[in-house]
Amino acid sequence: MHLHLILLLLALSAARVGFLYLSPFGPCPKCKSRGNIQRGKRRPVCLRCKGLRRIQRPGSRAIHRIVRRVRQGRQAAARYQREDRP
């Protein structure tokens, strides 16, 4: 049985989604949050974060879009219920 494995994966993905929602930005892994890369004597600005030293974590944008849509849907439903009452 792989039920435990599936439950573990579900729990991990739920934790990942919550983590991405709470902290959508993280330190840049490319330049290790220095903003530039040591390349011989030159130190060009990091292309990944463009010198910002942090990046938006992949997936966080999608999660925020989904949460916004759900909230808007709930507001619309609440408005509809109020209008429906006599």
- Residues of this chain that interact with Zn ion (CB under 5 A) are 28, 30-31, 46, 48-49
* Residue pair 28/48 in contact by the 8 Å Cβ criterion: yes
* Residue bearing tokens 């209008």: 83
Q: What is the largest CA-CA distance in the chain?
A: 76
> In this complex, which beta carbon is closest to Zn ion, that of residue 16 or of residue 30?
30
Cα 16–63–34 angle (5° rounding)? Answer: 70
| Strand ranges, E, within the chain | 25-27, 54-56
Least distance in Å: CB of 50 to Zn ion?
8
Least distance in Å: CB of 43 to Zn ion?
12
> In this complex, which beta carbon is closest to Zn ion, that of residue 44 or of residue 73?
44
Least distance in Å: CB of 54 to Zn ion?
8
> In this complex, which beta carbon is closest to Zn ion, that of residue 48 or of residue 71?
48
